[in-house]
């Protein structure tokens, strides 16, 4: 990776351009409206959009449009240079916990463009192929999760959570059960859970984890009552542990009249092993960009389809949470992934991901602090170094960048102060895992012998640690020529 | 087990890993799962397909779609995609990266988002923009929530009935569950002027559902006087030539970036944008990228103002959003770089010219009247049909055109982008003229 | 070891109160600012806002954290320290000089539930 300091605006020169527009047959069209649109009026300084500028009620833009003026080669070279300061799954190992950074197959990219020309409001009879993709995915995801139906409108995991909670509220409201305004969320939950609940107008009640990292059923019991809309569970949870009391939890929550929400961010290890529908969940979302291999794109577009059990089927497509049919292009990619894996291979994904996580955990627990000794699922959490010597989790994460790996998720979950959350996925080879383990051991050794090198890391990246404090105190959020 | 292209494990690898993990079989990794929850069936899915089979599967599906010349808009516009864009956005360093948490190895993503924020500010005239939202309608819903957050205890948002139907539907959904009092009206200024509402804000379209460029003269000062915020829903492509949200005095601008060269792709992925005045910066939802320096003084970019966000604030966050539509923001950023100010202006001129050409030609068939005569439009317009709409739509479909979208008010809309050639426009008019309607 | 000043009253959520007649001057303790690290933003209420004891009246933000401010007393916000809008670092520099709001108290008896310096020293460790 090489530091490159330009912004596109700094390449701009007045009068340069990169566009290519067809201006054919202008003579014919120029006659429209009594021939008022002569060449000069279109492109000249007194064009059609300036006609009313003198009027107070002018509807045309008066401010100059400050976009870069660059050529096509400028653009290609600039963004190619930018890309070279980026690290992706195709660059190297990306053990980012709870993000399931698995390999993104290339055939999936190729088939998407086949649908590019379809307008979202075209009549059903002209989009049978696109509808067939959605129908296939509805059935496929239902088969994999044990839910009845899926809506594809949500564009991301958090968006799916929100949609699922809307369905829970809709269910209670339809029964006249309007007092159910509280939702239970474990203290180990993803930050999006309570945030989605708040957006959905629900009050969050936190249920504690036991020392073994699982939801404390005894702490849960007194929370249940006629004001509880439901519970949001992540299973396996963010510590990578399977909530083995789920049967009792489901029974207790259902008994009090609440519903169970399944946060599908951690679905990957259950592929081929457990179906959320069978565990008693009423509604769930999947992250197609995690479990079903669609690329993360630097933070979207994703897709967060929401599945429902029988009792929510009457409501499942009611909340209109996005503009058209959801992120259709992402759904197509996930569809290609399911077809490629087929029923034979998809059931191997979960166990192989789980195997990789346990392999790393067991290989490093003599240098990193493992707060909960247990077989994990797809991910696990270390609470920093066994012998930190002043070295923090942030230092370890930054040093990993020097060695050509992405960092794990850090400082989450909040249950531990020095959390390092590692998720390797099933698409990494034993050689890659061994190389990562080797580097993690080297870092532990450096911590003992030369902690300074860790405090100053990273050293080999395009930039070093930035000054985030002044970025937040005096925000500079857009370019302005100096 | 056999090998599979995406799983690199040999039998020997698995043996080694199981041994280290301290279990004797893959099943042993799930000993903590109650047996009754273990799935013993076979997923009802097809058998694994080769790459070529996957491609054929999709090609055969696609053959069931009908390829149409798009003369429709309503929030999704058939603009041309310069070939540079998919080339750049498919670079795997952009495509396969996560949200730029580790800024030292994400300067590519962070820089283009900073460029996107700058360009959204340039288009809207406002001070600050976020890293993007899911799509236009959800951005509008977030703006509605933001109005409530900025005005503290106020809870009524007035939305113009002339907003696109899918924007209104999304607003209704979010309002229903957030407990916001959403008032829909054709006359926003009058509703506000009554002064009886605990007004948090208003949402009005820059170009409305009939394609008309609206005038919002005086609206901002009225709304501010009543203590609310003004939100404008915009088509960013059109903002190159129509009056900007800042020029109308709006506090917040939202819209869908799809018109900046993103393919129709049956409705997504698109990208929402959101910009506001400096005053409201700390209430802006979503990711925001800021500029700073590293220890050696090099210009560096980071995710900033994160204390607003869900991973820190949890239930007190301004929004639950945690991703954006980063790659689509890159798509639009490259588009705007390629087009430049002059390209954007010419593009709009072509759309204007061709849509007016179609508009006049359709009126000349005698099968329509113009319910909005004298109002300005850019690329989309509504007509009142004097004929059977279903037959009209079918005649167009039969001839390979998608147009004449019905509106709830009994009009039909057409949209003409620069991709529609004069020959295609003439052919469409001929169909309308000759069909027995 | 954080600084604690005699003569001020303290809340469990680490706000300090200086009483001047029926006016309460409110800030956060040195302990609180140290826990937060570099403060990047102070979210302030508006003058004239009604506040109630135990209710949120604003927040402190750092790069990776946010901490709500709870009002130790009820009343009306008489003044806010607008200087902190542009210079939040003043809270880090001297938490007792950087007052945040002044509240005209509606019920000064609420002060009785606050701690003195000695009592606060026991929880701010």
Q: Residue C63 has what pLDDT?
A: 86
Cβ contacts from A onto C, under 8 A: 16
Please give the structure tokens belonging to residue A80. 């190619």
Q: Residue A24 has what pLDDT?
A: 67
Alpha-helical (H) ranges within A365-458 are 393-402, 430-449, 451-455
**Does B384 reach chain C within 8 Å, measured CB to CB?**
no
Q: Where are the domains of chain C?
A: 9-106
**Does A34 reach chain B within 8 Å, measured CB to CB?**
no
Contacting partners of chain A (3+ CB pairs under 8 A): B, C
CB contact under 8 A, C41 and B313: no
CA distance C97 to chain B (A): 24
Average pLDDT, chain C: 93
| CA distances for C97 relative to C31, C81, C83, C90, angstroms | 14, 11, 12, 8
Instruction: Supply φ then ψ for residue C79, to 5 degrees.
Output: -155, 150
Q: How far apart are CA B76 and CA B73, in angstroms?
A: 5
For B153-259, list the strands marked E by DSSP.
Answer: 156-160, 181-185, 199-205, 229-234, 252-256
| CA distances for C22 relative to A148, B296, C11, C53, angstroms | 63, 51, 18, 15
CB contact under 8 A, B51 and A343: no
* pLDDT average per 10 residues of sequence, chain B (437 residues): 84 97 96 95 96 97 96 98 98 97 97 98 98 97 96 93 98 96 96 91 98 96 97 98 96 98 97 97 94 96 86 76 91 98 91 91 96 93 96 97 96 97 94 91
CB contact under 8 A, C62 and B313: no
List of chain A residues whose C-beta atoms are within 8 Å of the C-beta of residue B221: none
- Which of A301, A323, A355 has its CB closest to that of B170? A323
Q: How far apart are CA C74 and CA C76, in angstroms?
A: 7
**Does B282 reach chain C within 8 Å, measured CB to CB?**
yes
List of chain C residues whose C-beta atoms are within 8 Å of the C-beta of residue A411: 64
Instruction: Supply φ then ψ for residue C105, to 5 degrees.
Output: -75, 140
Compare all CA atoms of chain C with the CA of B152 and give the residue at the minimum distance: C45
Compare all CA atoms of chain A with the CA of C90 and give the residue at the minimum distance: A473
List of chain A residues whose C-beta atoms are within 8 Å of the C-beta of residue B55: 107, 110-111
Q: How far apart are CA A232 and CA A210, in angstroms?
A: 17
The predicted model gives C7-32 an average pLDDT of 94
Q: Residue A28 has what pLDDT?
A: 54
Please give the structure tokens belonging to residue A248. 């009792």
The stretches in chain A having pLDDT less than 70 are: 24-57
CA distance B326 to chain A (A): 5
Interface test with C, best of B303, B307, B311 (most C CBs within 10 A): B307
Please give the structure tokens belonging to residue A56. 């107070």
Q: CA torsion B159→B160→B162→B165, rounded to 10°? A: 10
CA distance A202 to chain C (A): 19
Q: Residue B374 has what pLDDT?
A: 87
Greater confidence (C65 vs A288) lies with A288
CB contact under 8 A, B340 and A69: yes
C9-106 maps to CATH 2.40.50.100:
yes
């Amino acid at each position: 990776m090489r530091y490159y300091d330009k912004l596109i605006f700094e390449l701009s020169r007045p009068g340069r351009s990169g566009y290519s527009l067809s201006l054919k047959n202008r003579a014919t069209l120029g006659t429209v409206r009594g021939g008022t649109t002569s060449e000069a009026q279109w492109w000249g300084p007194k064009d059609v959009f300036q006609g009313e500028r003198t009027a107070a009620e002018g509807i045309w833009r008066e401010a100059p449009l400050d976009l870069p003026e660059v050529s096509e080669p400028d653009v290609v070279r600039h963004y190619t240079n930018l890309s070279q300061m980026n690290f992706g799954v195709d660059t190297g190992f990306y053990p980012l916990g709870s993000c399931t950074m698995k390999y993104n197959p290339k055939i999936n990219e190729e088939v998407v463009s086949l649908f590019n020309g379809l307008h979202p409001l075209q009549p059903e009879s002209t989009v049978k192929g696109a509808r067939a993709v959605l129908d296939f995915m509805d059935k496929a995801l239902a088969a994999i999760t044990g839910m009845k139906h899926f809506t594809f409108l949500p564009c991301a995991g958090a968006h799916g959570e929100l949609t699922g909670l809307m369905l829970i509220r809709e269910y209670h409201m339809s029964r006249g059960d309007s007092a159910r305004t509280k939702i239970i969320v474990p203290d180990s939950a993803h930050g999006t859970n309570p945030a989605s609940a708040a957006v959905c107008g629900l009050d969050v009640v936190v249920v504690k984890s036991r020392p073994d990292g699982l939801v404390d059923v005894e702490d849960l019991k007194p929370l249940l009552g006629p004001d509880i809309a439901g519970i949001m569970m992540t299973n396996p949870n963010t510590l990578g542990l399977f909530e083995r009391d789920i049967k009792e939890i489901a029974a207790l929550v259902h008994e009090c009249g609440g519903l169970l929400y399944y946060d599908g961010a951690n679905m990957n290890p259950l592929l081929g092993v457990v179906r959320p529908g069978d565990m008693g969940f009423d509604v769930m979302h999947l992250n197609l960009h995690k479990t079903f291999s669609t690329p993360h794109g630097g933070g979207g577009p994703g897709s967060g389809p929401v599945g429902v059990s029988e009792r929510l089927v009457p409501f499942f497509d009611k909340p209109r949470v996005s503009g058209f049919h959801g992120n259709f292009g992402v759904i197509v990619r996930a569809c290609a992934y399911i077809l490629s894996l087929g029923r034979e291979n998809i059931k191997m994904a979960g166990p192989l991901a789980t195997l990789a996580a346990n392999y790393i955990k067991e290989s490093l627990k003599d240098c990193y602090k493992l707060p909960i000794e247990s077989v994990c699922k797809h991910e696990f959490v270390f609470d920093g170094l066994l012998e930190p010597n002043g070295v923090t989790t942030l230092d370890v994460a930054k040093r990993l960048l020097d060695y050509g790996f992405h960092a794990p998720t850090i400082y989450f979950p909040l249950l531990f102060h020095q959390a390092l959350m590692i998720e390797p996925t099933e698409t990494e080879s034993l050689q890659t895992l061994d190389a990562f383990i080797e580097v993690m051991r080297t870092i532990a050794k450096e911590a003992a012998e030369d902690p300074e090198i860790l405090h100053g890391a990273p050293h080999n990246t395009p930039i070093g640690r930035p000054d985030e404090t002044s970025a937040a105190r005096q925000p500079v959020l857009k370019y302005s020529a100096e | 087990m056999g090998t599979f292209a995406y799983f690199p494990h040999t039998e020997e690898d698995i043996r080694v890993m199981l041994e280290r993990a301290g279990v004797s079989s893959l099943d042993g990794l799930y000993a903590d799962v109650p047996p009754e929850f273990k799935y013993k069936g076979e997923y009802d899915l097809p058998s694994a397909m080769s790459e070529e089979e996957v491609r054929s599967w999709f090609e055969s599906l696609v053959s069931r779609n009908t390829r149409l010349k798009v003369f429709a808009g309503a929030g999704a516009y058939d603009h041309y995609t310069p070939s540079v864009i998919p080339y750049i956005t498919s670079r795997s360093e952009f495509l396969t990266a996560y949200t730029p948490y580790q800024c030292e190895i994400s300067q590519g993503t962070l820089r283009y988002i900073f460029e996107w924020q700058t360009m959204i500010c340039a288009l809207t005239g406002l001070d600050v923009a976020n890293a993007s939202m899911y799509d236009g309608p959800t951005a509008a819903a977030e703006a509605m929530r933001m109005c409530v957050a900025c005005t503290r205890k106020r809870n009524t948002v007035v939305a113009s009935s002339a907003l696109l139907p899918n924007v209104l539907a999304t607003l209704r959904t979010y309002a229903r569950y957030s407990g916001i009092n959403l008032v829909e009206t054709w006359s926003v200024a009058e509703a506000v002027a009554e002064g009886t509402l605990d007004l948090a804000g208003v949402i009005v379209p820059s170009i409305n559902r009939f394609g008309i460029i609206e005038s919002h003269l005086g609206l901002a000062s009225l709304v501010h006087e009543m203590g609310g915020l003004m939100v404008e829903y915009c088509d960013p492509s059109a903002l190159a030539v129509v009056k900007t949200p800042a020029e109308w005095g709006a506090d917040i601008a939202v819209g869908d970036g799809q018109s900046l060269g993103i393919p129709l792709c049956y409705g997504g992925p698109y990208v929402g944008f959101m910009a506001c005045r400096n005053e409201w910066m700390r209430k802006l939802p979503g990711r925001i990228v800021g500029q700073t320096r590293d220890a050696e003084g090099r210009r560096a970019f980071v995710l900033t103002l994160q204390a607003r966000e869900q991973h820190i604030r949890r239930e007190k966050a301004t929004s639950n959003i945690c991703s954006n539509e980063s790659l689509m923001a890159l798509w639009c950023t490259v588009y705007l770089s390629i087009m430049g100010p002059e390209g954007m202006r010419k593009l709009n001129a072509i759309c204007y010219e061709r849509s007016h050409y179609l508009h006049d030609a359709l009126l000349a068939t005698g099968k329509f009247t113009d319910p909005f005569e004298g109002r300005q439009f850019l690329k989309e317009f509504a007509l009142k049909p004097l004929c059977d709409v279903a037959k009209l739509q079918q005649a167009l479909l039969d001839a390979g055109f998608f147009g004449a979208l019905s509106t709830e008010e009994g009009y039909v809309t057409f949209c003409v982008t620069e991709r529609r050639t004069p020959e295609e426009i003439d052919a469409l008019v001929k169909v309308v003229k000759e069909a027995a309607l | 070891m954080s600084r604690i000043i005699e003569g001020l009253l303290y809340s469990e959520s680490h706000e300090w109160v200086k009483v001047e007649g029926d006016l309460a001057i409110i800030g956060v303790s040195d302990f609180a600012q140290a826990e937060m690290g570099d403060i990047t933003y102070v979210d302030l209420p508006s003058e004239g806002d009604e506040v109630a004891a135990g209710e949120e009246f604003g927040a402190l933000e750092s790069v990776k954290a946010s901490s709500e401010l709870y009002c130790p007393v009820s009343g009306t916000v008489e003044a806010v320290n607008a200087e902190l809008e542009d210079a939040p670092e003043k809270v880090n520099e001297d938490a007792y000089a950087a007052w945040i709001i002044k509240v005209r108290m509606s019920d000064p008896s609420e002060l009785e539930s606050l701690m003195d310096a000695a009592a606060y020293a026991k929880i701010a460790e």
